[in-house]
A and B are shown apart, each in its own frame.
Chain A
C-alpha cells in the first residue's frame, strides 16, 4: 500500500438510496414516542416466543382440519376465524411466523456472508479482482429480486430452502457494494495514510483499521434488512414458489385464500397485518437499538 491508489468510487445510486432510506427511517424512529417503540418491541418479543415456543400461545396444531367449522368469522373460539378447511387461523399464523421469519433470517445470513466476502475481497484486492467482482455483482443486480428468485427456482424446485437461498442471493449485491465502498473508503482514509507513516505493514493496516471499521456496519445493515428479506420471501411464497400448502407460511396462506376474500375478509387481513407489523417493528426497533448502542460507545 505504498502509493495509495484512489480507486474510482463506484458509489451505486442504489446505495445512496439505501442510505437516504435508512436516514429517513432513523429520523422517524427517533421521533416516535417511547411508548410506541416499547409496544413494537413487545410485539417483537411475542413474535420471537411464537417462533420458538408456539405452544405458549396456541394449544393446537396448525394442520388440524375440521371441515365442519370452515369459514367462520372471528369468534371467541376462533380468535381470528377459520379457513376453508376449518383450521384455526390464529394457530396457523402463530406457526406461520416461524416460516416467514426463518426465510427472512436465513436469506439474510446468506446475503451477509457472501456479500461481505465479495465486498472485502473487492475492496482489498487489486484493480483486476475488483473489476471482475464488480461486474459480477452488476450482473446479479441487473435482475430484480423477484425475477432472480424465479430464475433460481426455475432451475431447481419450489421449496423453502431454495426460496431462502434465492432471496439471499438477490440481496448479495447490496451488501457487497456497501462493504466494498466502505473498505475502499477506509483504505484511502487519512487515518490509514497516517498509520503508514508510523511504519505499519499492510496486514496490520487491514487488521487494525480496515476490518474493524468496515465490519461495524454489518449489524446495522443486517437487522433492518431482515425486514426486506421477509417481505421478499413472503411475496415469493405467495406465488407458491416456496413452502407449499399446507405449510402455514403467511404468504402461502394469503395465496391459498385468494378466491375466498369476497366471503372471508379475515383470511386476507390478519396474515397481512401480522406480517407488516413485524416488519415495521423490526425496522423501528432495530433503528432505535442501533442508535442507543452507538450513543453508548
Chain B
C-alpha cells in the first residue's frame, strides 16, 4: 500500500496498555475504601446505641424489677461488660455474620429477617427494572428534541420527585384498587400484588433517572463528536441510542449505589402503604419496639448493599476509564 504520506515519526509514543498494575491498585483502593465505610457505619450505630437515652436492660427486662433479675439479664446479654469489650465483641460477631439476637423476639436476628428479605428484594428489583426501562425510553425520546418534548419530560420529572412517594401509592390504590377494582387491595400472594407497589416505588426513581440520563445525553449531544457522527449520515435516533445513551449511562453509573439505597428507603414506606410485609415493616416494628439489634442489623445490611454496589460500580468505572486511555 503506497501512500504519499509522511509516516509518523519515531518520537510518537506508541501506546501500550499499562493496565494491569495500576488497575489492580485502583481496585484495591476502592475496596479498602468500602471496608472503611462499612466499619464506620457499624461503629457509628454502636456509638449511637451507647449514647441513646434509656437503658437497654429496661427494655429486655420488661416488667421484672428485681435487681437480681436485671443483673442476670444484663450478664446474659453481655451488657455488664466494659464498653470497649462490648464493641470488640460486636465487631467480632459481625465478621462472623452473626447479627445477634432480637430483644423482642428472642430469636437470632438473621431468622427474624430471613423471610422478610424476599418480598422486599423482589419489589426493589421489579421497581429497578421498570424504572430503567421507563427512563431510557423517555430520555431517548426527549433528549435534545424540541422545547415541547423537553418541557413535557421536565414536567414529568418534577412531578415524580416533588410528590411524596406514599401519596402516589395512595392515589394508585384509590384509582385502581377501589374504584376500578383491577388490582387487589389485600395481598393475595399472586403476582398482581406486586404491580401497584412496583409502580409506586418506581415513580421517584424514574424521575431521578430520567433527569440524569436526559442531562447526560444532552451534554453528549452538545459535544463536537455529535456533529461528527451526524456528518457520517447517522440518524438522530441512532445517535441518541447508540452513542449519547452510552455516555449518559457511563457517567450516571455511579449513582447506582445511592439509587439502590433510596429504593430501599422508599420500600419501607411503600410496604406500609400497601400493607405488604417485608424488610420495611420489619424495620418499622423494630424501631417502635426498640428492638435495637434488628434495627442495627437492617441498617448495616443496607449500608453493606450500598457499599457493595458502589464499589462494584466504581471498579467498573475505573475499568472503562482505563480502557479508553493509554
- Please tell me if A121 contacts chain B, counting CB pairs below 8 Å: no
What is the interface residue range for chain A against chain B?
A: 35 or more
Q: Are A254 and B166 in contact (CB under 8 A)?
A: yes
- Please tell me if B234 contacts chain A, counting CB pairs below 8 Å: no
Q: Are B302 and A268 in contact (CB under 8 A)?
A: no
Q: Are A142 and B41 in contact (CB under 8 A)?
A: yes
- Please tell me if B78 contacts chain A, counting CB pairs below 8 Å: no
Task: Kindly report which residue of chain A lies nearest to residue B307, judged by CB atoms.
Answer: A142
A269 contact set on B, CB distance < 8 A:
171, 174
Known A20-B215, A24-B211, A158-B288; judge A142-B178 contact (CB<8 A): no
Q: Are A25 and B154 in contact (CB under 8 A)?
A: yes
CA distance A157 to B171 in the complex (A): 30
Q: Are B284 and A239 in contact (CB under 8 A)?
A: yes
Task: Kindly report which residue of chain B lies nearest to residue A230, judged by CB atoms.
Answer: B164
A251 contact set on B, CB distance < 8 A:
164, 166
Q: Give min CB distance, B186 to chain A, whole Å.
A: 11
Q: How many A-B residue pairs have CB under 8 A?
A: 179
**Dominant secondary structure at the A interface:** helix
A16 contact set on B, CB distance < 8 A:
212, 251-252
CA distance A279 to B163 in the complex (A): 8
Number of residues from B at the complex interface, CB < 8 A? 70
List, sorted by A's number, 24 A–B pairs whose CB atoms are closer than 8 Å.
Answer: A13-B254, A14-B258, A16-B212, A21-B215, A31-B151, A138-B37, A143-B303, A144-B264, A146-B266, A146-B269, A147-B264, A147-B265, A150-B284, A156-B52, A158-B288, A234-B164, A238-B269, A239-B272, A239-B284, A272-B163, A272-B170, A276-B167, A280-B158, A283-B158
Question: A residues within 8 Å of B by Cβ?
Answer: 12-14, 16-17, 20-21, 23-25, 27-28, 31, 135-136, 138-139, 141-147, 150-158, 227, 231, 234-235, 238-241, 251, 254-255, 258, 261-262, 265, 268-269, 272, 275-276, 279-280, 283-284
Given A24-B211, A238-B164, 13 additional A-B pairs, CB 8 A: A24-B154, A24-B215, A27-B154, A142-B303, A142-B306, A147-B261, A147-B264, A147-B265, A147-B298, A147-B299, A150-B295, A156-B53, A280-B162
